[in-house]
Structures are given as structure tokens and as C-alpha cells.
Structure 1
């Protein structure tokens, strides 16, 4: 089984890095980074029970990170007699707050209906299909089946192990939102450069998504975090557009917009006034939308506050916990590139 995590997870729509592989140092400590992380986990480890996952929980705790900031990308076989146990184990991980994904879809021995029942955040196409796709119509058919499944359950599609522009163009044409691989590795300057797509690369038009299909992992800090902690997060990762302040139950209490927050800190005496003070003093109320909100309704919600039209929206679950963010640019792209699909839709509100 080959790892899917050969580099950062890149958003193909914007070219920004949205997550990095989780790294452990020799002592087993997690190398914490401001961005959300992704970790490749064999299904058999999950099936081994809570004891097998305890070191991961402890590593996150020591690093000061919450499970909501980690995508567990499961891969490997699941025997028929293990299906019920896996469902129970996944429910437990989701209750902890982890974002769940399945890798190797299309070739691994995890039934598609099991993936669908798990309602994952992310579905990764098998690297073998990516490698064959530009030249093998059979691989293309299998990859499209995986994409159809992912769209049907509201999951993002990950195209791993991208080595050349032909593979990237194929992944884009299927509708993959995220990708990783040698082609998208950081250059000597540390920046990721994503080749531009063409009109032929665009996915076929579909009915507009709900916001959970545009969801990106959020960068979160505890509600009592100091402003200098937020400065550090923004400073180390230029792709972070917002930081969400959450309580102990992961409910959003405040939102720091990158531009306004850094402008306040950079102003005369700004760091002296705010640096050691709670970041919440500079935060705005979070603009929250339930995960089932249609994209059009989310756009309407974004437009109600003219001073914050382009602020990220915070997506919440049924008990108001932060699931992640949706960028307004993604909403605009979805709505404006498929106008015919929205013409006759009526959204209350």
C-alpha cells in the first residue's frame, strides 16, 4: 500500500495549500503547524480499537491541536466480517472531532457502500488510477465512478500522486477539488505552483452544491488565545485567510479576518496595545451557516453585512460545532460559473 501523502494538499481552484502531512519527530511528538494536517492511517489500525489510536490523541493534546484540525485518510482492506466494527470505530473517531477520509478508492478492498455510509469529508482516488488515467479509458471510468460517489455523499475528491500536467488536467476534468504529488511539491522558495487549467479541464455542470461540499478545514485557536498567537499563525502560512476562535466544545465564538486583524496589529502601537491581549478583542462575530445550507443561500447570508462581504463563512454541524470554513471566492465561483442552473431556484430568506 503506497502512501497518498507525498506533499501538501493543494486546492486546485485557488492554488493555495490547505493542509500538510502530519509529521512526528523521533520522540513521537507531533510537529505542529498552523495549517490543518492530514494523516495516512491503515484501516487495520482503526479496527484495532481505542488503544491503538490513543497515541494519536495524546500527540494532538501535547501539540495543542484539536482533532477537528486533522484529516484521517484511511486506506487498506476491510474484510466483510469487519464492516460493523469499522462503522463503530469511525463513529467514535467522528465523535472525537476528526475529519474522516478514504484513500485508494477504486482499487482498495473497501466497499463503496461502506465509504458512502461513513459520509467522509474526503475521498481519495487510487494512485494507480491516476497513473493510468491519461492513457487508459478503463481507469478513467473507474475514477469517474469514485468522483460520482464522492459528490453523492457531499465529500471532496482528492487526486493523489500527481506527476505531470496530463494527470492534473484529467483530475480537474473529473471534478477533483484537492490534489497532491510531485508536480505540486513546493519549489526552492517554498511556494507551490499549480499549472493553470483550461476550459477543457472543467468538470461537467452539476446542480449547485451545499456548503459542506465546499468545506475547507479551519484554523482554530482557543477563545482565550492571545493576539500574538494569531499573528504567528497568519505569519507562518500566507494561505490562511481567517482564524476561528472556539470554546472547549469547538463552538465558534469569534472570527479573525486576515486583512483586518493584521492591519490592526501593524498599525502604530498596534502590537503593544493588542499583542499580549486576548485575540477575541479584535475578533468579529463568526458568520455561521449550517453545513446543509445551499450555496445561493450562503451567498445571500454573506451579502447581508456589507462591511464583511468577503469574510470566510464558518460552517457548523447540528450542535453548532465548527466543521470548517467556506471562502466567499469559492461560493462566487460556484454560482457564477453555472448561472443556468440557478436561474429558477428560489431560496427562502
Structure 2
């Protein structure tokens, strides 16, 4: 079966979000094709060119079956977001899903957001499993509506982001209003930074700003090893691009990370008097409902070898239990382990979660982890101000980041 045969049924392309510190895939970005496009996998990432994305959303491909030029661009954008989520669901990945939405779509009104919420929910995922990233232009007149929409999505439990940081279509004043979970650098800025000192300085300053605002930075579109190494040196923890994964990549396939195994802590992390906060080390969490069976947890662990833990959450998206990969697999692999536990609640084989507020200093989180001798290296669960799961922190990352 060719790569084209694999991509055609899903009508979507996938890009891994790679943690440069561990080499693990921590999220998946999905793009669905315009309506009527039978060759989704052959089209480039539309987020790399906002103008092309706006044209595709309104006009679609030049085929008789594409949408009419007067088609509602917001409705088409929502359809593509839901299609992308559905395609990921068909592949069975439980990694957090990154989906781009045009700023104009977010500003279109409550009815559009309601349609988006119901469509994404129909794929079987909960809001905290999505990172909804605003792309495209931000005309001054629409900025209050965009900020209000992203705020509403955050309150509903979605993780939100802004794309194009460093370009004119991603205004910096929105960072204070939106409090995004993720900031995606402009792809052209990320690629040109290694060879152009001025752009390198701009990228470094944007990443330092992001760290001070306690949000994550994603460097997209990286094509060479030098670009990866340079952006990592400036402070980028998350990255995407052809150098990390081929165009036909799908969830579960390996990635290649051209980063040295041992690195010095980034000098661009924002340190306060108490050191960096735990939010600077937070990674997206793989979550399942607290009612999930052991078999469902096993499927999620088998699908992604880089997943170290799974957080079981309640109906309010608060951590209910934590499944450590190693202990869970050992218990399930014992005599009659699978037969005894497979169809019973996974929470029986889980541990109490170890929640830490996102504003806690990393050194305090490390000390808290060390108080439990049997679970020193278990992942910590980062929570927001109302106790909802925002992600995980690996203790090994804290140790590396705080080492002199």
C-alpha cells in the first residue's frame, strides 16, 4: 500500500509535535483537505501560508466538486477542523490534537463555536484533548471578538494557541488577553533564524517573552539539523518539520530528532528569584476518562511508545488517577493479568495523581516528588486554577533543567 493510499481515506495530513528534550511525540497536528479534494495528502501545510489557507477555505480546489466561491468560510473552516479530528480518531491516536482555526472563524459568533464544540465532541474526544490554534489575520475590529472566543474555549476546557508569532498577523497584545497554552512561531522566521542574526535575535526575544508568560513555544517547518539545533539553543522545546518526520507520517510512526542527547539548560528560560516555574517544563498529557478500561489504556500505550503516563480525568477534566506506564504493563503482563484486568476499570491499576499548580516553582515541585520514595520518578500532573489537567511534567526534565 502506498502512502497516497493510506492518506486518501482520511482526507487529512498529520504532523508530529516533537519534544526535543526526549525525542517523543507529545501531540499531533491534523489538517483536513478542502471540500471536494480527493488528494488531501498532496497539499502543503496550509498554516504555513495564511493567505493560501483563506483561499482554500473559501474556494477549495479547482474541481467541479469543490465548494462554491460564495461558500461560508467559517462553516468550511469548522468542517475542516471536525474532519481533521475525525481522521485522527480513525487512526486511534490518544495524543493531544492540535488543530488550526482562522481568526475570522473564531470571531464569527457563538453559533460557530457551538457547532465546532459539538462536532469535535462527536469524535469521542474531550475538550482538554484539543489544542485549538488561531491562525490568519487579526484585523483590529475583530480582535475583541477573537479574544472573547478564545477565552470562552479556555473556560470550556480547550487548550488554546496563537500561530504566526513573529509575523504581522499575530499581534503581541493578544498574548496578554488570551493567555494561550501554545505559541507557534512563524515558520519562515523559524527557518531563517540560524542564518540571519537579526531574525535569530527576534526569535530568542519572542521565546523569552513566551517563557515569562508561562506558555509553550512550537517551532514549525524546520527542514535542517542546523535549524533544529539553533531553535533548541534559543529555548524552543517543541518542534515540527520535514527534518523530524516525512510527509507521509502518521501517528505511531517514528520520528528522527537531530539533537544531542545531553544539552545545557537553555539560557533563555525566564528565571525569577525562586527559579523557573513548573509550567516551563509542562508537556501535553494523554488523558482518558476515569471510567476507561485497562484494555483502553493498554491500546493507548501501545500506540505511542513515548507516552510515560496516562492521566484519568473526571467529568470536570480534573485528574482522578495516574497510570504509570512501567507499573501498569508489569501488572498486566503477570500471570492471567490481561484476562483479570482487561475489561475492568484501569483505575484499579492506577495511582493517586500528584497534582501541582502551574505557578509553582520547579524546585518546589521537584522536592514534592522526592517525598514519595516509591514514586520519585512518576510524572507530575500540572493543573490550572480550578484543578483541571493542563499537562504533565517529567521529573527527569526538572532534574536536567535545574542542574547547574
Determine which of 266, 280, 283 is the counterpart of 1:203: 266
Matching residue of 2:7: none
Determine which of 309, 313, 323 is the counterpart of 1:242: 309
- CA drift of 1:6 comes to 6.6
- Give the conservation status (yes or no) of the 8 Å contact 2:163–2:170: no
Does the residue aligned with 1:89 lie in a helix, a strand or coil? helix
TM-score (norm 1): 0.89
Quote the Cα distance in structure 2 between the aligned partners of 1:199 and 1:11.
Answer: 14
> When the two structures are aligned, how many residues end up with a matched partner?
333
Equivalent runs, 1:146-161 vs 2, <5 Å: 146-161=206-221
Matching of residue 264 in structure 1 with residue 264 in structure 2: no
Quote the Cα distance in structure 1 between the aligned partners of 2:113 and 2:31.
Answer: 16
Quote the Cα distance in structure 2 between the aligned partners of 1:6 and 1:167.
Answer: 21
Quote the Cα distance in structure 1 between the aligned partners of 2:235 and 2:391.
Answer: 21
Matching of residue 31 in structure 1 with residue 76 in structure 2: no
TM-score (norm 2): 0.78
- Cα distance change on mapping 1:30 and 1:59 into 2, 3 Å: farther
- Cα distance change on mapping 1:185 and 1:194 into 2, 3 Å: same
Does the residue aligned with 2:15 lie in a helix, a strand or coil? coil
- Give the conservation status (yes or no) of the 8 Å contact 2:357–2:383: yes
Matching of residue 9 in structure 1 with residue 9 in structure 2: no
- Give the conservation status (yes or no) of the 8 Å contact 1:147–1:176: yes
Deviation per CA, 1:170-202, whole angstroms, max 9, x where unpaired?
201210010000000059893111012398986
Structure 2 gap segments, 5+ residues each: 1-12, 36-81
Equivalent runs, 1:68-217 vs 2, <5 Å: 68-185=128-245, 190-197=253-260, 203-204=266-267, 206=269, 207=271, 208-217=275-284
Quote the Cα distance in structure 1 between the aligned partners of 2:118 and 2:22.
Answer: 34
- CA drift of 1:243 comes to 1.0
Matching of residue 40 in structure 1 with residue 48 in structure 2: no
- CA drift of 1:329 comes to 1.3
Quote the Cα distance in structure 1 between the aligned partners of 2:399 and 2:108.
Answer: 44
77-86 vs 302-311, which moves further? 77-86
Does the residue aligned with 2:254 lie in a helix, a strand or coil? coil
- Cα distance change on mapping 1:281 and 1:6 into 2, 3 Å: closer
Does the residue aligned with 1:277 lie in a helix, a strand or coil? coil
- Give the conservation status (yes or no) of the 8 Å contact 2:229–2:258: no
Equivalent runs, 1:287-306 vs 2, <5 Å: 287-306=354-373
Deviation per CA, 1:13-59, whole angstroms, max 9, x where unpaired?
11110001235598933422111111111111111123223343223
- Give the conservation status (yes or no) of the 8 Å contact 2:265–2:401: no
- Give the conservation status (yes or no) of the 8 Å contact 2:204–2:268: no
- Cα distance change on mapping 1:140 and 1:200 into 2, 3 Å: farther
- Give the conservation status (yes or no) of the 8 Å contact 1:172–1:202: no
- Give the conservation status (yes or no) of the 8 Å contact 1:172–1:201: no
Matching residue of 2:29: 21
- Cα distance change on mapping 1:58 and 1:69 into 2, 3 Å: same
Matching residue of 2:383: 316
Quote the Cα distance in structure 1 between the aligned partners of 2:32 and 2:188.
Answer: 27
- Give the conservation status (yes or no) of the 8 Å contact 1:6–1:181: no
- Give the conservation status (yes or no) of the 8 Å contact 1:108–1:126: no
- Give the conservation status (yes or no) of the 8 Å contact 1:23–1:30: no
Matching residue of 2:298: 231
- CA drift of 1:10 comes to 0.3
Supply the RMSD in Å over aligned alpha carbons: 2.2
